[in-house]
Structure 1
Amino acid sequence: MKKYCFLLALLFCSVLLHSQDRYFLNSDTRLYTSKSTSGDFLGYFKYGAEVRLLSENENGWYKVKADNLSEGYVPEKFIAERLNAKDVQIKDSENPIIEGGDAYYGGNHLFVLVAGLKARAQPDKNSKTREILYTGDPVAVNYLPKNPDEWVNIYGRIDDEYAQFTLRKFIGKRPDFNALVKDFDKLDVSNSTERKTIGERIVELAWNSDKTTLTPAYQRYYEVVKQLNDPKLLADTELNMAIAKGLSKHKKPEEITAFTKKVEFILKGTKTKSLYFTQKDLVKIFGKPSKKATVSDECGIYLSELFYYYPDLVASVDENKNQAEITKVFINENNKVVFNANALLDNTLSEKTFIEKYGTYIGASIKAPHFYSIQLEDSEFTIEFRDGKLFTVEIIFYC
């Protein structure tokens, strides 16, 4: 009988612990190694951090698991099933995590300190890479361990499907561009390894800063690249320098609108000033599509969720209303984009020439190399190059 009651008690505790999967901290606090605020601690929690309970309330303390899988104790008064606007937060002046509301991120966060940081699916250097992060990127942080060699969950929530981990030593306060430049300039010219490391950080931080910093960043990095004598790296850097030059002299919105105002397509020899066809004309010109598919359109920005796929283009089609809208064009000898008499985008256009001619009109990102955007009134062209040649022009409508 006693054994039966004991098993029932265990079952009750288990149900109690798991009836609410998500718990939050309603104040700054720390993850303690024991049930005492005067004892040692493993790391810092920020208001809103998610935890999992590992025990019942024990004299005002819960044993919890943090989002980086570390286990320890927090005071019971800071555990909540939900957050509330009336929460009275106790600030921890020693907590290094930055609160939301700055110019870079809305929630609790820190910044990437190194170039090309791999965010892992598990707290293990051998686990798969979920994302590549760049110097100056803000990352969500709700729990930060003290040990620089411990892992941090930079997704900010306990969700195995989406969690991303990196080591504590690779994130911190936002790097200072001018300080990095000074560090670079102090290095001996012969120290190409360290100069490359800092040069990469300078370049990535410049992409995350005022675009006017891109040119001085690449000027320094280019010095190192020439030393390394890597043909591909040299070509990529020269292309990026041309992009940086264009972005530093970026056209005003009204100038870009004027540039795109009279854009027209030449599709399979047919000139059209509009992206719109009747469904019947689309089939008459391009034939039956090689594939039809339904694509979710939560914003309602396309004519229909039904898409026709051709070797030359993609179109959103409303068969009932006899309407079709071109959304993507593959550039080849039959398909071209014409902005004006002096601005023709066809299959002979190289990426380098495109940048040199139109670099002041485009948007670009280090995170999407060889993809560029040109703003329209309520949409934009996304222009992709492959192997140095123009590949596609896609029309992206804003939600």
Structure 2
Amino acid sequence: MKQTIGILCFLISAYALGQSKLYVSTPTVAYNDATGTTQVGIYTRGAYLENVEKVNKDVFKITNEFLGTTYILDTENLKEVLVSQDVSEASPAPIIDFDDYYGSPHLFTVVGGLKVRKEPNHQSETIGVLYNGTPVGIDYYPYDKEAWTKIQFNEGQGYIPVKYLGKRPNLNSLITSYKKATEAKDQKRFMQRIVELGWNSNDDDNAKALLIFADYADKNAQPERAAIARLQSEVLKAIPEDEEFDKTLSLISKKLFGFTLNNVIEPKKGFSLATLEKTFGKVKDSYAHLDDCALGDYESNILFASAECIGHDINKTYTLRIVQMGNGAGFKINNSILDENTTEKEFLKTGKGLINTILSTDKAYQIPAGDSAYRFTFKDGKLNKIELIYFC
């Protein structure tokens, strides 16, 4: 008898736990209480609700540790599993269901340098920053403009004020506002938004934003930043077409593109272990991951103090994969050798017509090479690291 009761209790508990997590099948209004006195927000299709409690057959209560409690009266909109046959209405304004920038309900950041907080308050730890014009997925949109909303961020979650979300900013409108501004603080604010929106836009708009910034930097005694912005704009305008990506492979075949040690370009089968150890020191470790598509049979990653290469266990070949600049390590592009003294400006001039990606937040640039790409990272204005990235 006791055993039977125990099993029943377990089954009831399991069912209750199963009911504590549900999905929203169509945009659904959230209320402040179980009687639906006031609408306080909207849950979008696909929203995953945790800590759901069934108050009665017509009301569900949703509790969030930081955002408080809301109630859903349209209980037929909550389901354990979403299917394509679900009937879903369009989300109410200002929520955007999908566009060219994001494929599910979202809004855009409308300010520059928006801080993402660990908890929904301005005193909480900052865990990251979002550029102006960044699309942000929305599960719940609160109507209180002083409220915060939870977002997915860096494989985790964070919080941002909902008042800084809206429709995508318009670059031309921002440029007009910048040109009309007379106060230095307003010019700086608009310029930050222009530059950040540029990085979140297509290459043409990005190039346009960079030229506006270059003009601003010149007027504010920042000639180095102005020069780099102009060169970046030129690089974006000169990005190779798809059919021109083979240009890098052609340079590689002519031994005009690749890692170098003491100005000697890496042989097709790599440098000898003795040569590598002379530059980078003794091998520190080796490892191999099954999901690392760069590795073939009998291959592993070999670690040095300031480099990493792919080693073949049987053939004893070693090809460079990641190199920290210094101690004779460098990189050849055409007839130029890049090293730890290479400036960002020099690299942009050398790589123009080959570079296809600028990673502004990482201070890095990429040059494609077949199914891979070389990433050049800068620190304090100088070339710091080069990494060969494989696309699987």
TM-score category of the 2 structures, normalised to the smaller one? 0.7 to 0.9
Give the letter for the 1:193 counterpart. K
Distance 2:185 2:260 in 1: 49
Give the letter for the 2:232 counterpart. I
Equivalent residue number for residue 160 of structure 2: 166
Q: Secondary structure at the match of 1:27?
A: coil
Give the letter for the 1:111 counterpart. F
Q: Is the 8 A contact 2:215 2:226 kept in 1?
A: no
Equivalent residue number for residue 46 of structure 2: 48
Distance 2:42 2:64 in 1: 10
Shift of 1:293: 3.6
* Alignment of 1:210 onto 2:237: no
Provide the alpha-carbon RMSD of the alignment. 3.0
Equivalent residue number for residue 240 of structure 2: 251
Shift of 1:389: 2.1
Q: Is the 8 A contact 2:22 2:52 kept in 1?
A: no
* Alignment of 1:200 onto 2:197: no
Shift of 1:282: 3.4
Q: Secondary structure at the match of 2:359?
A: coil
Identify if the C-alpha distance between structure 1 residues 145 and 292 changes in structure 2 by more than 3 Å, giving closer, same or farther.
same
Equivalent residue number for residue 387 of structure 2: 394
Shift of 1:15: 5.8
Shift of 1:112: 1.0
Shift of 1:383: 0.8
Shift of 1:225: 4.0
Shift of 1:391: 2.0
Residues 17-49 of structure 1 deviation map (CA, whole Å, 9 limit, x = unaligned): 434452111111111123345x31111111111
Equivalent residue number for residue 3 of structure 1: none
* Alignment of 1:345 onto 2:338: yes
Normalised by the size of structure 1, how large is the TM-score?
0.83
Identity of aligned residues (%): 24
Distance 1:84 1:30 in 2: 21
Shift of 1:227: 5.4
Shift of 1:68: 6.4
* Alignment of 1:152 onto 2:149: yes
Distance 2:310 2:259 in 1: 17
Moved over 6 A (4+): 9-14
Equivalent residue number for residue 115 of structure 1: 112
Any gaps of 5 or more consecutive residues in structure 2?
Answer: 1-7
Equivalent residue number for residue 335 of structure 1: 329
Q: Secondary structure at the match of 1:240?
A: helix
* Alignment of 1:33 onto 2:25: no
Q: Secondary structure at the match of 2:273?
A: helix
Give the letter for the 2:50 counterpart. R
Normalised by the size of structure 2, how large is the TM-score?
0.85
Residues 345-373 of structure 1 deviation map (CA, whole Å, 9 limit, x = unaligned): 2334222111133233212122222x111
Residues 225-256 of structure 1 deviation map (CA, whole Å, 9 limit, x = unaligned): 45555x5xx53343233212221232334444
Equivalent residue number for residue 22 of structure 2: 23
Indicate which of 139, 146, 156 corresponds to 1:142. 139
Identify if the C-alpha distance between structure 1 residues 348 and 224 changes in structure 2 by more than 3 Å, giving closer, same or farther.
closer
Shift of 1:135: 0.9
Distance 1:295 1:62 in 2: 49
Distance 2:198 2:179 in 1: 16
Q: How many residue pairs end up in the alignment?
A: 375
Identify if the C-alpha distance between structure 1 residues 295 and 62 changes in structure 2 by more than 3 Å, giving closer, same or farther.
same
Equivalent residue number for residue 230 of structure 2: 241
* Alignment of 1:103 onto 2:86: no
Indicate which of 256, 263, 274 corresponds to 1:284. 274
Shift of 1:213: 2.5
Q: Is the 8 A contact 1:307 1:315 kept in 2?
A: yes
Residues 89-128 of structure 1 deviation map (CA, whole Å, 9 limit, x = unaligned): 2445x3422113x211122211111111111121122222
Indicate which of 327, 333, 350 corresponds to 1:357. 350
Give the letter for the 1:239 counterpart. I
Q: Is the 8 A contact 2:312 2:318 kept in 1?
A: yes
* Alignment of 1:82 onto 2:81: yes
Give the letter for the 1:28 counterpart. P
Distance 2:180 2:290 in 1: 53
Identify if the C-alpha distance between structure 1 residues 346 and 222 changes in structure 2 by more than 3 Å, giving closer, same or farther.
closer
Indicate which of 370, 373, 376 corresponds to 1:380. 373
Identify if the C-alpha distance between structure 1 residues 21 and 307 changes in structure 2 by more than 3 Å, giving closer, same or farther.
farther
Indicate which of 237, 261, 272 corresponds to 1:267. 261
Give the letter for the 1:245 counterpart. E
Q: Is the 8 A contact 1:50 1:66 kept in 2?
A: no
Q: Is the 8 A contact 1:119 1:131 kept in 2?
A: yes
Residues 38-86 of structure 1 deviation map (CA, whole Å, 9 limit, x = unaligned): x311111111111124432414111113696331111221111111122
Q: Is the 8 A contact 1:17 1:53 kept in 2?
A: no
Q: Is the 8 A contact 2:198 2:210 kept in 1?
A: no
Q: Is the 8 A contact 1:66 1:143 kept in 2?
A: no
Q: Is the 8 A contact 2:44 2:140 kept in 1?
A: yes
Q: Is the 8 A contact 1:317 1:324 kept in 2?
A: yes
Identify if the C-alpha distance between structure 1 residues 260 and 128 changes in structure 2 by more than 3 Å, giving closer, same or farther.
farther
Q: Secondary structure at the match of 1:284?
A: helix
Give the letter for the 1:213 counterpart. D
Distance 1:164 1:295 in 2: 33
Distance 2:166 2:66 in 1: 17
